Amino acid sequence: MLYTSTRDKSVRVPSAQAIVQGISKDGGLFVPTEIPKIDAGFIEALVPLDYISRAKKVLSLYLTDFTEEEIEMCVNGAYKDGKFSSKSVVPLVRYNENADILELWRGPTCAFKDVALQLLPYLLTVSVKKTVDGKTIVILVATSGDTGKAALEGFKNVPGTKIMVFYPNDGVSPMQKLQMATQEGDNVCVCAINGNFDDAQNGVKAIFTDKAVAERLDKNNMMFSSANSINWGRLVPQIVYYISAYCDLVAKGRIKNSDEINIVVPTGNFGNILAAYYAKRMGLPVRKLVCASNSNNVLTDFIKTGTYDKNRRFYLTTSPSMDILISSNLERLLFHLTGEDDETVRRLMSALSEDGKYTVDESVLSQLSEIFDAGFCDDKAAADTINKTFKNGYLLDTHTAVAVNVYDAYVQRTGDRTPTVIASTANPYKFSAAVLKAVAGDKAAEGLDEFEQVSRLIELTKVPCPPQLADLKSKKKRFEKCCDKRDMADAVYEMLGI
Ligand SMILES: *Cc1c(COP(=O)(O)O)cnc(C)c1O
């Protein structure tokens, strides 16, 4: 299987090169030239297997330039005992008679990004061996919170790699800041910058594309790669869990093999829901993909009208990982829905960068409405959903609450009782202040620091806090540096010792 670029169909590279490069030279994203097919027999064979064995089978359909031993080594390394707090890695928990919550946050940083970012470093080191053997890979990340920490945990002490994370000094939650400041590992570095997330992101992009920086790295036998969600190596691990969740529903007797399901995903950059789209295209029996957004509802409008328009107010919400107006991975969907028309994708993407908007044609719009449904809710509605769902015995985080709210509204509107999987993307203690207020009223978090809020939430809900969050309080801070935007390249040199 080969990979091509959404902006230039003449590109043909094996998966290892797509993973090492991260993004195609023409600015497009790597996509598989054909989508592998699975059938009921494939699912039946997966049902009795554990997550690791299922992952091997699914990944080997996409990473055809990897040997079986290589895939085995990668998957074992990422998901072996103890890395995830559930034996099934991504357990299903019942929400109601029709729907199950898929807990994707059982990894080391308590966010769903762990599922991909625990595996990516292994995929990347194998890919490096196949393409640019001997080079040290330098991962640069700009983060608004969750990605940085998950990438640090994934890459810590991975031989042949170094990772440096930049975050906006005033743009992440206290818990997220502490998670990064206390990061362990001898190949990691974290630096705050004076500025907002866009400053961090633009700074990282500028370093990435600076020829002088690249030459200096090259002289030292190093090269940059990326760990953000446009890397194919981050998307492909996410396809696994939708197929695995389907198998679990069959195993539990909730559905029969070949029955249709719906999948609801709280969405930001469109990576997680795109993985579900690939699973559907592979042949997993999926009826609707429901795209859930917060007040930054650019995707809701797009799926309903065919017009993507980022020229709108930007809201800071209680689900910050979904506060996004440009969903990068949508480009891959456009490529597939236009019949792999790279010219149209180029036109739409240049309209997006010039005017901040574009409109797709009738054919794409009708496919969008066929495959997807979409909805959004604001912070108040998400808080009400947390409150109500907690009274029924389950504590949601703010992102998953958006998905549950949108799902409930979808069922009300359509009467669709198809068995449903709702992707749960974070542990509630990562967003203690908002969750505490949702459960106990707006005044409940007043005057309490991050850890007092955690304690109060434990007291009130009796839901245990994952040790990796609770233990942060007593951990030593290693990284407290804050630099100016223009000094970011120097910070990188300093970290690399070059
Ligand atoms: C990153 C993130 C999302 C959004 O996922 P996308 O793949 O960017 O759509 C949702 N919830 C949480 C908690 C996240 O960290």
Q: What is the pLDDT along the chain (498 residues), one digit of tens a residue?
A: 999 999 999 999 999 999 999 889 898 999 999 999 999 999 999 999 999 999 999 999 999 999 999 999 999 999 997 899 999 999 999 999 999 999 999 999 999 999 999 999 999 999 999 998 899 999 999 887 789 999 999 999 999 999 999 999 887 888 889 999 999 999 999 999 998 887 888 888 889 888 999 999 999 999 998 898 889 999 999 999 999 999 999 999 999 999 999 999 999 999 999 999 999 999 999 999 999 999 999 999 999 999 999 999 989 899 988 988 889 999 999 999 999 999 999 999 999 999 999 999 999 999 999 999 999 999 999 999 999 999 999 999 999 999 999 999 999 999 999 999 999 999 999 999 999 999 999 999 999 999 999 999 999 999 999 999 999 989 999 999 999 999 999 999 999 999
Token pair, residue 227, equals: 């760990």
Distance CA 421, CA 285 (A): 12
Nearest atom in ligand 1 to the alpha carbon of residue 324 is 8
Which two structure tokens, joined as six digits, stand for 374? 């979409």
Which residue, judged by its Cα, is nearest atom 4 of ligand 1?
Answer: 268
Q: In terms of Cα–Cα distance, which of 15, 14, 18, 62 is closest to 36?
A: 62
113 noted as active-site residue: yes
Centre of ligand 1 to C-alpha 320, Å, is: 9
Q: pLDDT at position 153, please?
A: 96
Q: Residue 108 and residue 146: Cα distance in Å, rounded?
A: 12
Q: Which residue, by CA, sits nearest to atom 14 of ligand 1?
A: 321
Question: Which bin fits 369, alpha (ψ -120 to 50), beta or left (φ > 0)?
Answer: alpha
- Contact (CB, 8 A) for 183 and 152: yes
For ligand 1, residues with CB inside 6 Å are 111-113, 146, 229, 266-272, 321-322, 399, 425-426
Alpha-carbon distance of 293 to 376, in angstroms, equals: 4
**pLDDT at 25 (0 to 100):** 87
Of 80, 87, 113, 477, which one is the catalytic site residue? Answer: 113
- Tokens of residue 338, six digits: 């236009």
Q: How far is the CA of 139 from the centre of ligand 1 (A)?
A: 20
CA 110 to ligand 1 centroid distance, Å? 12
pLDDT at 133: 86
